[in-house]
Amino acid sequence: MEKLREVLNHLMVDIFNDILTIEQTALKKGAFNDLSVTEMHTIEAIGMYHPRTMSEVAQDLKITVGTLTTAINRLVKKGYVERQRVEDDRRIVQISLTKKGKLAYRVHEKFHMDMIHAMVEGLDLEDEEILVKSLEQLSEFLKRHYHLNEIKESQNE
């Protein structure tokens, strides 16, 4: 049992580090070398199909609207995001991806889908359900014990 837990720990650390390294390397060497990993995750939070308000995206990213505004300014300047005011209420700003932003989104999404496919390949439905349950438990543990929402907010103040 102890050996299995050591293997799990080693795998989790390696996978986490590998994903970060791969994302950073892919961005630096790829067509989107002007994007940081954080900017790519902002593009992902904006989404492909519907304009979203700044508040919605900030909430999803667990950052302040002020922090998001700085990131969006950079992404607009780089040509990945566009802003538009809502006609009924000009105070509300919606953001959406440009054609360039949508392409970056699709490339990043493919990387994630390829990872998921590789992870579940060869598993039967019961094994996939166990994997999902385990990852949900880990996610809840991290949120509950390490107050991740509070940490992210304090980093962005």
pLDDT at 157 over 90: no
148 pLDDT tier (thresholds 50, 70, 90): low
**CA pair distance 74, 39, nearest whole angstrom:** 9
Sheet with 93-97, strands from edge to edge, namely 52-53, 93-97, 81-85
Listed residue (43, 99, 105) closest to 68, CA to CA = 43
Burial of 93 (0-12, 13-18, 19+ CB in 10 A): middle
Q: Give the ranges where 31-98 is alpha helix by DSSP (H).
A: 37-46, 54-61, 65-78
pLDDT tens, residue by residue, 80-126: 999 998 888 888 889 999 999 999 999 989 988 998 999 999 999 99
According to the CATH classification, is domain 34-121 in 3.40.50.300? no
- Regarding predicted confidence, which is higher, 153 or 33? 33
The pLDDT of residue 23 is above 70: yes
**All structural domains of the chain with their residue ranges:** 34-121
Record the pTM: 0.77
